[in-house]
């Protein structure tokens, strides 16, 4: 009888241990799937960013009104706030006038 009880105890231990390992394997599989989804998402975002940067560089740099004001101000040494708004408009259209 002692061997029967010992055998049942071993079987119970093995069964419990196996069940724990199966549960742990399931959790690891779920974690792996989540990480793979995150990796895929990051790769897609990286591709989108690279594509956007490539498209932006194809069209050249974007020059704003503030950029033009700053450059004209540095060339003429006239502070930006001293240039009247109608002069600013003329300066913005200067390229069209010159061409």
Give the model confidence (pLDDT) of 62-78 as tens digits.
788 888 888 888 888 87
CA pair distance 11, 3, nearest whole angstrom: 12
Dihedral (C-alpha) 92, 94, 96, 99: value to the nearest 10 degrees? Answer: -150
| Co-location of 73 and 99 in the same domain | yes
| Co-location of 42 and 74 in the same domain | no
- Its domain, for residue 4, covers 1-60
| Co-location of 11 and 52 in the same domain | yes
- The pLDDT tens digits of the residues spanning 10-56 come to 888 888 888 889 999 999 999 999 999 999 999 999 988 888 777 77
| Co-location of 56 and 98 in the same domain | no
R_g of the chain, CA atoms, integer Å: 35
């Amino acid at each position: 009888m002692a061997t029967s009880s010992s055998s049942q105890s071993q079987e119970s231990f093995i069964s419990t241990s196996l069940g724990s390992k199966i549960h742990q394997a399931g959790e690891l599989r779920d974690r792996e799937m989540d990480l793979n989804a995150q990796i895929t998402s990051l790769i897609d975002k990286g591709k989108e960013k690279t594509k956007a940067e490539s498209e932006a560089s194809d069209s050249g740099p974007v020059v704003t009104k503030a950029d033009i004001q700053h450059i004209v101000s540095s060339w003429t040494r006239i502070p930006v706030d001293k240039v009247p708004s109608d002069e600013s408009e003329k300066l913005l259209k200067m390229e069209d006038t010159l061409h």
